Amino acid sequence: MKNKDHITIAHGSGGVLSRELLDEYVFAAFSNPYIDQKHDGAVVPVDGQLVISTDSFVIDPIFFKGGDIGELSVNGTVNDVAMCGGIPAYLSLSFIIEEGLALADLKKIICSIRKAAERAGVQIVTGDTKVVEKGKGDKIFINTTGVGTLHLKADIRLQRVRPGDRIVINAPVAAHGMAIMSQREGLTFESDIVSDTQNLNKMVEVMLDRFGEEIHLLRDATRGGLAGVLNEVAEDRNIGIHINEEAVPIDSQVAAACELLGIDPLYVANEGVFMAVVSESVAKEVVELLRKEFHQTESGVIGECTESHTGKVVLNSHLGGKRFIYPQIGEQLPRIC
What three-state secondary structure class fits 17? helix
Toward a copy of itself, which CB reaches closer, 198 or 301?
198
- Strands 215-220, 166-169: pairing is unpaired
List CB contacts of 163: < 8 A, sequence separation 6 or more: 239, 240, 305, 306, 307
Nearest to 242 by CA among 315, 173, 318: 315
- Considering the complex, what minimum distance in angstroms separates the CB of residue 87 from a copy of itself? 12
Nearer to a copy of itself, 67 or 127 (CB): 127
Q: Which is nearer to a copy of itself, 166 or 219 (CB)?
A: 219
Q: Is the peptide bond before 327 cis (omega within 30 degrees of 0)?
A: no
Q: What is the smallest separation between the CB atom of 129 and a copy of itself, expressed in angstroms?
A: 8
Nearest to 83 by CA among 233, 302, 190: 233
CB of 247 to a copy of itself, least distance (A): 23
Closest by Cα among 190, 192, 174, 198 to 249: 174
Nearer CB in complex with a copy of itself: 73/298: 73
Measured from the CB atom, the residue of 224 and 265 that comes closer to a copy of itself is 224
CA dist., res. 120 & res. 140, Å (int): 22
For the bound state, the minimum distance from the C-beta of residue 325 to a copy of itself, rounded and expressed in Å, comes to: 13
Closest approach of a copy of itself to the CB of residue 109, in Å:
15
Note the residue count of the chain. Answer: 337
- Distant-in-sequence, close-in-space partners of 68: CB < 8 Å, separation ≥ 6: 62, 108, 109, 112
- Give the three-state DSSP class for 148: strand
**CB closer to a copy of itself out of 127 and 172:** 127
Shortest approach of a copy of itself to residue 17 CB, angstroms? 6
